[in-house]
Amino acid sequence: MTHTRYAFVKANWHSDIVDRALDGFLELIPADQVDIFDAPGAFEMPLIARDLAQTGRYAAIACSAFVVDGGIYRHDFVAQAVVDGLMRAGMDTGVPVLSVSLTPHQYQETDHHNAIYRDHFVQKGREAAQAALKVTETRAHIAAAA
């Protein structure tokens, strides 16, 4: 069975920036083929992605988050845990889980930085859509050759 549905999970922290990845994703994949889910933050995305993958409904799942240094915890630790968890969700379920989880070295909550990252997330959303479409196509070719 060829899936034509995709899931998009977005973290609610910095949603004014993170949600732009969905905008880019929807430039390439029609909105009627995408189910959208909110996660409280980046750390919760791997669990949600795994649960979505286990439904068997999606050809691929894209997850978007912006993990920045809030001064309270090591943001690089959180970012690494998120990316590792997303990869594990994909490997454990056999459903591609794509990451649009960015962790900038330098981020200041200024209009200038926010504008740069909003634009960057649109591009990263497009790239996630391209990856979702390509991996779906490649997996279909592999299945047809088997």
Say if residue 44 carries a ligand binding annotation: yes
Say if residue 83 carries a ligand binding annotation: no
Please say whether the dihedral angle defined by the alpha carbons of residues 120, 123, 128 and 134, taken in this order, is positive or negative.
negative
The rounded Cα 26 to chain-centroid distance in angstroms is: 13
Say if residue 13 carries a ligand binding annotation: yes
Say if residue 99 carries a ligand binding annotation: yes
**Cα–Cα distance for residue pair 19/12, rounded to 1 Å:** 8
Say if residue 122 carries a ligand binding annotation: no
Which residue is catalytic, options 74, 88, 126, 139?
Answer: 74
Say if residue 79 carries a ligand binding annotation: no
User: Residue 66 gets which letter from DSSP?
Assistant: E
118 given a catalytic annotation: no
Helices (H), 1-146: 15-28, 45-54, 75-93, 111-145
Numbered residues of the known binding site for 5-amino-6-(D-ribitylamino)uracil: 13, 42-44, 66-68, 99
Active site residues: 74
Numbered residues of the known binding site for (2S)-2-hydroxy-3-oxobutyl phosphate: 113
Numbered residues of the known binding site: 13, 42-44, 66-68, 99, 113
